[in-house]
Amino acid sequence: MKKILLICLLLLPCRFIKAQINLVPNPSFEDTISLWTLKDWTKAQCSPDYWNNYLGGPAKSEDFYLTAFTFGKAPHPPRTGHGMVGLTTGGACWPVPFHGPDMYKEIWIAPLKSPLQKGVKYYVSLYCLAIDSLKFYSMDSILQPSPGSGAFSFSNHLGVYFTNTLYDYNFNSPPNFNKSPVCAKNVISDTGNWVRISGAFIPDSNYNYIMIGNFYDGPHTTFFPPCKDLTNLGEDQATYYFIDDVFVSSDSTGFIFNGINNTLHENSNDYLFSNINNRITFDFKTDATINSGFLYDLYGNIIRCYSFQSKLEDNLDDLSQGIYLIQIIHDNTKITKKIIIEHKN
């Protein structure tokens, strides 16, 4: 009877914490179907880019390998992990027939892990990095602008939009909504640091999809320097941003997604943590009551539940290579670490 009660007590916190997990699938753009095909995310409008550095060196886009363009090597690494996405929030550097009379914009879309609940408050964040010019490495590794990269600008209104329509750039691109529940109100022009866009909102419907991009038309978007003429094909001017680590949750304090940097070792005043060769250790320096712990994948699935008194040790070699997060609850305090499991050949 005591064993049954203990199992029930362990399952209850598992169910409670799972409700706090990020609703965004593949939030750091690490999981792929193939080298250049993202899992979960698809193109809702025009042709946003996926970047990764799985093959070593700078992060590269599919254009680098699949076309003859020099466009392809990023001047900045992903914020965390190996992957990130890129898009333009507006510009005039591509033919009008692709985007109508307003301006060229790129948008990503993904299904949420579970629908938003109408009337519930949600917290949203994502990180972006502005690019001041497309000075990507060419095939011969000489740093130079890509042909046709033109003059670059910066804009506001990069953010998210939630919908029940699965938009697809081949058939039904999203219209200009001229609204966004969470977006950058000011122009983002920082080309050296990742900028966090965040906010909270209460949905008016049980939305199933999240989109990332600029959802305002040209007259409602601020550019700096100003784009001279968004409909003039002679002007080659646009914005470009890298995006990483997207978060949506109804919980503002329980589980805030802040990237996936691998934590190898930490010696604090209260505990010793190590993550060496896929073996993790939590060792609290003072005796404590029973602690609980949970190991998650990036989709919020609980992989393992732990119960221990002062020391936890676990070998994670049996898990698939990838990114996980471990959360320990100790004296009503939550400690979260990011773990990257790698199998050496």
Q: What are phi and psi of 129, to 5 degrees?
A: -135, 125
Q: Please check whether residue 156 is in contact with residue 187, taking contact to mean a CB–CB distance below 8 angstroms.
A: yes
Has residue 134 been placed in a domain?
yes
* pLDDT(12) > 60: no
Helix locations, the chain, DSSP H: 2-18, 62-66
Has residue 83 been placed in a domain?
yes
Q: Which of the listed residues 218, 249, 280 is the one where a domain comes to its end?
A: 249
Task: Give residue 292's pLDDT band: very low, low, confident or very high (50, 70, 90).
Answer: confident
Same domain as 48, residue 93: yes
Percent residues over pLDDT 90 in the chain: 25
Same domain as 218, residue 275: no
Amino acid at 268: S
Tell me the pLDDT tens digit for each residue of 235-244: 456 788 999 9
Give the SS3 label for residue 239.
Answer: coil
Same domain as 273, residue 214: no
CATH number reported for the structural domain that contains residue 161 in this entry: 2.60.120.260
Task: Give residue 143's pLDDT band: very low, low, confident or very high (50, 70, 90).
Answer: very low
Has residue 109 been placed in a domain?
yes
pLDDT at 102: 59
Has residue 58 been placed in a domain?
yes
- What residues make up the domain containing 128? 32-249
Same domain as 138, residue 158: yes
In the chain, how many domains are there? 2
Same domain as 122, residue 86: yes
Side-chain-side CA neighbours of 279 within 13 Å: the count stands at 3
Considering only residues 291 and 193, tell me which one the structure prediction assigns the higher pLDDT.
193
Give the SS3 label for residue 97.
Answer: helix
Q: Please check whether residue 262 is in contact with residue 255, taking contact to mean a CB–CB distance below 8 angstroms.
A: no
CATH number reported for the structural domain that contains residue 306 in this entry: 2.60.40.3080
* pLDDT(70) > 50: no
Give the SS3 label for residue 84.
Answer: strand
For residues 306-321, average pLDDT: 88
- Transcribe 180-207 into DSSP letters: -SEE-SSPB--SSS-EEEEEEE--SS--
Has residue 230 been placed in a domain?
yes
Same domain as 133, residue 196: yes
In order of 40, 42, 228, the CA distances from 60 in angstroms are 20, 18, 30
Task: Give residue 161's pLDDT band: very low, low, confident or very high (50, 70, 90).
Answer: very high
Considering only residues 118 and 229, tell me which one the structure prediction assigns the higher pLDDT.
118
Q: Which of the listed residues 208, 226, 249 is the one where a domain comes to its end?
A: 249
Q: Please check whether residue 193 is in contact with residue 129, taking contact to mean a CB–CB distance below 8 angstroms.
A: yes
In order of 36, 273, 337, the CA distances from 340 in angstroms are 21, 15, 10
Q: Please check whether residue 46 is in contact with residue 99, taking contact to mean a CB–CB distance below 8 angstroms.
A: yes
Task: Give residue 11's pLDDT band: very low, low, confident or very high (50, 70, 90).
Answer: very low
**Buried b vs exposed e over 308-325: b needs ≥16 C-beta within 10 Å?**
bebebebebeebeeebbb
pLDDT at 237: 60
Considering only residues 236 and 29, tell me which one the structure prediction assigns the higher pLDDT.
29
What is the pTM (predicted TM-score) of this model? 0.65
Same domain as 320, residue 285: yes
Same domain as 326, residue 226: no
Has residue 26 been placed in a domain?
no
Has residue 24 been placed in a domain?
no
Q: Please check whether residue 324 is in contact with residue 295, taking contact to mean a CB–CB distance below 8 angstroms.
A: yes
How many other C-beta atoms are found inside a 10 Å radius of the C-beta of residue 85?
A: 22
Nearest to 302 by CA among 324, 270, 278: 324
Q: Please check whether residue 262 is in contact with residue 338, taking contact to mean a CB–CB distance below 8 angstroms.
A: yes
The alpha carbons of the chain give a radius of gyration, in whole angstroms, of 22
Give the SS3 label for residue 10.
Answer: helix
Least confident of 31-35, 43-47, 223-227: 223-227
Tokens of residue 166, six digits: 């699965």
Has residue 208 been placed in a domain?
yes
pLDDT at 338: 76
Same domain as 305, residue 221: no
Task: Give residue 328's pLDDT band: very low, low, confident or very high (50, 70, 90).
Answer: confident
